Amino acid sequence: MAQAPHWTSNYTYRMKMGFSEEKKLASVQYSAGIASTLYTIANAFNSTLAPQDKALNDALKWIHFAATLYKNDATLKLQSELEDKVRNNNSMKPSAYQ
């Protein structure tokens, strides 16, 4: 007996889902897509910019927002790396009162 294509069983399952379950799934997928884009850009900044570059502050804001939308290990790791870079950069600035 031939096995039904994978999409058929998934389609049947989705047809049995109610609107609220479908809405939750769509919300998670949409949020994950936005978080993925923000992660990609923040990671590119982290990889290519010098540690003293002020644009790393923007990358940190983006990764904070990405982690708010969709937390995972990679997002949290990049967030930690950027926080360390920005913190070290800010501590190395000369004081205006010296």
Residue 60 lies in a domain: yes
Provide the pLDDT for residue 89.
84
Q: Quickly list DSSP for 34-63.
A: HHHHHHHHHHHHHHHS-TT-THHHHHHHHH
Please tell me the total count of domains within the chain.
Answer: 1
Q: Is 46 within a domain? A: yes
Average pLDDT score, the chain: 85
**Does residue 45 form part of some domain?**
yes
- Render pLDDT for 6-46 as a digit per residue (tens, 0 to 9): 445 555 566 667 888 888 999 999 999 999 999 999 999 99
Q: Is residue 75 part of a domain?
A: yes
Whether residue 35 lies inside any domain: the answer is yes
Residue 59 belongs to a domain = yes
Residue 73: inside a domain, yes or no?
yes
Position 6 scores a pLDDT of: 46
Q: How sure is the predictor about 93, in pLDDT bands with cuts at 50, 70 and 90?
A: low
Domain that holds residue 52: 22-90
pLDDT of 4 reads 44
